Amino acid sequence: MRKLLSFIGLAAFLVAVSLPQAAVAQHKHEIAKTPRHQSVAKRKVSRTVSVSRRKSIIQTRVRTQVVPAVLSFGQIAGLHGTPDALKLKSSAALVIDQETNEVLFSKNDQAVLPIASLTKLMTGLVLSEAQLPMNEHITISQADVDTIKNSSSRLQVGTELSRGELMHLALMSSENRAAHALARSYPGGLPVFVGLMNAKAKQIGMNDTNYVEPTGLSSKNHSSARDLAKLVEVAYGDPLLRKLTTSPDYQVAVGKRMLQYNNTNRLVKNPAWDIGLQKTGYIAEAGHGLVMQTKVAGRRLIMVFLDSAGNLTRLADAQRVRHWVESTPARFRVIPLARPNTDNLPIAARVEG
């Protein structure tokens, strides 16, 4: 009997001890269900997701940064390493006195390079000399959409503008669809037009120049600074090209909308510059290019800058040349820099094909 009572007492003691622990466990379970605890839990999850998202963004940025940049043909050929007295950022340059044909400055002026939208100056010259009706309307078609660089345009397929309006946009703001539509709609079509571009180049002595299309989006359109100076000289003699290339801005009506376009060369709006004709150009393979006819210190000059490092550096190079001319006595001579020997470089680097 004593043993039985002793056993019952021990069992009761054990139950009494275990009850608080069970109650504590139950209490913790209930706390987990409270809004405050849930809020804390959500913050922990949110913090974990936020950290994970930051890691993902960082990894994406790292992957983006390791993608190699496309080198211009001038960079591949090592032309950027050519020293010059003015420390230009363009790998090829030429400055000529338009009155005397005296070469005032040259740097790799015979290097054959892609010319990007400088192409459009020849496109405009061929069109102007053809004397087609400027009020004739041309419709932008799917054929005018860029499939070379996949560049965008505000001229949607179906847009209808006059030939004169399209020429204005192509020469002033380098509108690619406008230039392509002008060439496509030329009598005989695109092949005939490109043939006329190359024939005109030969006629004016541009022997290092070749065109395969009218916009400059193809890197197979190539020329040299020396050839482009000849093109500027001839184009400057065309009043229409002078007017369109130096127009600061222009508006066209597309349906119920008015589209505002600006000149791609900001020097045109600079009152310190007297620019008679100009054209800019850029694709990755060509770098940034600029050709101009301008008056500096009473002298008519033709300036050509090819394969500049950036959009603003080509303008800065023009400023450097201008300051140099203004600060140098009238009688001066610059010995042209020799063209680097690129005969042993790959064809893509020599850019002769």
What does each C-alpha distance from 137 to 134, 163, 166, 243, 343 come to in angstroms? 8, 6, 9, 21, 48
Look at residue 111 in the predicted model and tell me its pLDDT. 98
Average pLDDT over residues 5-18: 44
Residue 308, pLDDT > 60, answer yes
Beta-carbon count within 10 A of 340 CB: 15
Query: pLDDT tens for residues 228-281?
Result: 999 999 999 999 999 999 999 999 999 889 999 999 999 999 999 999 999 999
Query: pLDDT tens for residues 89-98?
Result: 999 999 999 9
Instruction: Provide the residue type at 322 as one letter.
Output: R
Query: pLDDT tens for residues 186-208?
Result: 999 999 999 999 999 999 999 99
Active site residues: 117, 120, 174
How confident is residue 157, by pLDDT bands cut at 50, 70 and 90?
Answer: very high
What is the spatial distance between Cα 279 and Cα 3, in angstroms, rounded to a whole number? 113
Look at residue 4 in the predicted model and tell me its pLDDT. 42
Give Cα 40 to chain centroid, integer Å.
50
Look at residue 334 in the predicted model and tell me its pLDDT. 53
How confident is residue 54, by pLDDT bands cut at 50, 70 and 90?
Answer: low
Strand ordering across the sheet containing 275-283: 103-107, 90-97, 299-308, 287-296, 275-283
Domain 73-350 has CATH 3.40.50.720: no
Q: Are strands 222-223 and 160-162 parallel, antiparallel or unpaired?
A: unpaired
Candidates 178, 168, 186; CA nearest to 131 is 186
CB 64 within 8 A of CB 337: no
Give Cα 206 to chain centroid, integer Å.
26
Contacts of 139 (CB under 8 A, 6+ apart): 158, 159, 160, 181
Look at residue 50 in the predicted model and tell me its pLDDT. 54
How confident is residue 331, by pLDDT bands cut at 50, 70 and 90?
Answer: low
Pick from 241-245, 282-286, 329-333: least confident: 329-333
Q: What is the DSSP letter of 210?
A: B
Residue 40, pLDDT > 70, answer no
Q: What is the mean pLDDT of the chain?
A: 84
Give Cα 326 to chain centroid, integer Å.
31
Provide the percentage of residues in the chain whose pLDDT is more than 70.
74
What is the spatial distance between Cα 219 and Cα 76, in angstroms, rounded to a whole number? 14
Query: pLDDT tens for residues 104-153?
Result: 999 999 999 999 999 999 999 999 999 999 999 999 999 999 999 999 99
Query: pLDDT tens for residues 296-307?
Result: 999 999 999 999
Average pLDDT over residues 323-349: 56
What is the spatial distance between Cα 174 and Cα 23, in angstroms, rounded to a whole number? 80
How confident is residue 218, by pLDDT bands cut at 50, 70 and 90?
Answer: very high
Contacts of 71 (CB under 8 A, 6+ apart): none
Q: What is the DSSP letter of 33?
A: T
Residue 283, pLDDT > 80, answer yes
Instruction: Provide the residue type at 169 as one letter.
Output: L
Look at residue 309 in the predicted model and tell me its pLDDT. 87
